[in-house]
A and B are shown apart, each in its own frame.
Chain A
Amino acid sequence: MGLQHYADLESCLSVAVDAAKRAGQIIANNFNTAKVIEHKGMVDLVTETDKACEDLIFKLLKSTFPSHELIGEETSAENGTPLLTDAPTWIVDPLDGTTNFVHRFPFVCVSIGLVVNKVPVVGVVYNPILKELFTAVQGKGAYLNGKLIHASSQDKIGNSILATEVGTTRDKQTVDRTTNCINNLLFQVRSVRLSGSCAMNLCGVACGRLDMFYETGFGGPWDVAGGALIVQEAGGLIFDPSGKDFDLMSRRIGASNGHLKQPLVTALTSYV
């Protein structure tokens, strides 16, 4: 589609960072106030802040890149998730970690990914409460607040920290599978972290504070489009939890540093 030049991607990154910071300011301003919560599902929440952030980000991206497509969580909740084409497409989670936002638990972020030919080429994840800005451009490395970051070098699963989430589906089959999977992993890893934001988990693997992450059944491609590129640019791996190739639209993800993909995939076998 022509949007492969470094200069083009750098300017895309710059606009995405600007959008993320502005949306982040809305999140920070509203963080300590009472929230009006709507339920998309029993434990699947949305607030006015999610919607305001998506509006702001969409407007900025549409006005700067009128030929680009847009996929956003809240717009998709209204209208259905659009099909992903080869066209340059911005995939946006205006507020990842809405439950955390409602409870004032500080793992919340804006996640913006630019996908071209169905491949992420620019990623921005911004946590305005912890003031952590994660960025990546394809081929150019991954950064946290301007410093180059790397996935960890841990090669023993017994010394590793695993992140996962319990998600928003609470039927018996899902809950039992989740806990059986965690049970199996507890015998193998150093510890487990559940922090409530898929994008923050991916960035955690990218900067080495986590060694592995998996989640199935999360909301949509917006949870992973930004973070997946950041992990890869940090030298980490992104894959389907079965070990097959990652599919951005599948609502399934596995992530690890450069060494632990196989042990994780093996441990997840028959649970995912």
Chain B
Amino acid sequence: MGLHQSEELESCLAVAVEVAKKAGQIIKDGFHRAKAVEHKGLVDLVTETDKACEDVIFTQLKESFPSHELIGEETASVNGIPVLTDSPTWVIDPLDGTTNFVHSFPFVCVSIGLVIDKVPVVGVVYNPLLDELFTGIKGQGAFLNGQRIHASNQEHIGNGLLATEIGVKRDKQTVDRTSNLINYFLYKVRSLRLSGSCAMNLCGVACGRLDMFYELGFGGPWDVAAGTLILREAGGLVFDPSGGEFDMMSHLVAASNGHLKGALVEGLVAHM
């Protein structure tokens, strides 16, 4: 599509950062107030803030890049997820960690990825409560608040911190699989973290505060488009939990630093 020039991606990043910060301010303003909560599912929540953030982000991106496609969580929940084409497409989670937002637990973020030929090329994840801005452009490294970040060097799974989530499905098969996996990994890893935001987990692996992450059955590509780019640019690995190629539309993701993919996949394959 021609949009591979470095300065064009830089200007895409700049606009994404600006609008992530605007949405971040909306999140911050609403964070300590009472929220009107709607249920998309039994434990799958949405608020006015999610929708307001998506509006702000869509409006700005449409204005700056009128030829680009847009996929956003809240629009998709009303209209269905559009098919991902090769066109430059912004893939947006206006508020990742809505449950955390409702409870005022500070792991919430805006996640904005630009995808071209179905490959993420720009990623922005912004947590306005912790004031952490993660950014990356394909081939140019990953950054946290302007400082270069790298996935950890940990080679031994026994010294690793594993992140995962329990998701929003509560049928017996899903819940039992979730706990069986946790049980398996508790014998293998140093400890387990469940923090409630997929994008923050991916960025956590990217900056080395986590060593491994997997989530099976998250909401959609908006949860991972930006974070997977940032993680890869930090030297980490992103893959399907089976060990195969990562598919952004699959609702499945696994991630690690440069060393622990094999150990993570071994456990996932045996217990998924």
Contact = CB atoms under 8 A, between A and B. Distances in A.
* A and B are interacting partners: yes
B209 A105 contact: yes
A43 interface: yes
Interface string B171-188: 010011011101100110
A43 B166 contact: no
Interface residues of A, number: 35
Interface stretch (A14-22, A117-125, A202-210, A238-246): A202-210
B183 A176 contact: yes
Contacts of B42: 158
Interface in A155-205: 158, 161, 166, 170, 175-176, 178-180, 182-183, 186-187, 190-196, 204
Interface residues of B, number: 36
Contacts of B187: 170, 175
A190 B161 CA distance: 24
A209 B191 contact: no
A110 B195 CA distance: 21
Given A161-B105, A195-B193, A209-B103, A103 B161 contact: yes
B130 interface: yes
B221 interface: no
A158 B190 CA distance: 30
Contact of A179 (B99, B161, B186, B191): B186
Of listed B152, B182, B195, B210, residue having the most chain A CB within 10 A: B182
B166 A196 contact: no
17 contacts: A99-B161, A99-B190, A105-B209, A166-B191, A170-B186, A175-B183, A179-B179, A179-B180, A179-B183, A182-B179, A186-B166, A187-B170, A194-B192, A194-B194, A194-B195, A209-B103, A209-B106
Interface of A: 42-43, 99, 103-106, 130, 152, 158, 161, 166, 170, 175-176, 178-180, 182-183, 186-187, 190-196, 204, 207-211
Q: Which 10 A-B pairs have the closest CB atoms?
A: A183-B179, A179-B183, A209-B105, A194-B194, A105-B209, A104-B209, A209-B104, A175-B186, A186-B175, A179-B179
